[in-house]
Amino acid sequence: MTSRILAISALGLLLAGVLPAQKKGDAAKGKEVFDQCGVCHSATTDEKKMGPSLKGLFKKSKLANGQPVTDANVTAMINKGKGTMPAFGDVLSAEEKADILAYLKSI
Ligand code: HEC
């Protein structure tokens, strides 16, 4: 009985150590997820495709809609879409969105 409790607490400690690390976005994974955005958004040049270039997005002070460039505002854009940009709220997991944010900050 005691060993079982010990095993469960050990598992808890393990998860506690691993989970927060997963919540932080991974730019390399975000680059892969960005394939879905790349049809409409350039990440490497200032070229405007169907949507504006996202190169240096997080170095700008404002989005086209006038809101400051924050994790929350960019995530809202991804979730809801705008005009011809489709909503990705149900398409991407929370982890994929965090990965995309990390990637956008790196370009
Ligand atoms: C079918 C084309 C299309 C796809 C796919 C698309 N977008 Fe967009 N996106 C647009 C258009 C068009 C706008 C401009 C909307 C407006 O302001 O009316 C835009 C705007 C944005 C903006 C705001 C940029 C700014 O400076 O204000 C962000 C951020 C963004 N998209 C991120 C993404 C991400 C991340 C993905 C992939 C998950 C994605 N988009 C997929 C067309 C697209």
Digit-coded pLDDT (tens) for 18-76: 544 446 899 999 999 999 999 999 999 999 999 999 999 999 999 999 999 999 999 99
- Centre of ligand 1 to C-alpha 104, Å, is 12
Q: With a cut of 80, say whether residue 98 has pLDDT above it.
A: yes
Q: What phi-psi label fits residue 98: left (phi over 0), alpha (psi between -120 and 50 degrees) or beta?
A: alpha
- Centre of ligand 1 to C-alpha 6, Å, is 49
- Centre of ligand 1 to C-alpha 29, Å, is 19
| Cα dist from 42 to 14, 54, 78, 87, 105, whole Å | 40, 6, 15, 18, 14
Which atom, in ligand 1's list, is nearest to the CA of 100? 35
Digit-coded pLDDT (tens) for 88-97: 999 999 999 9
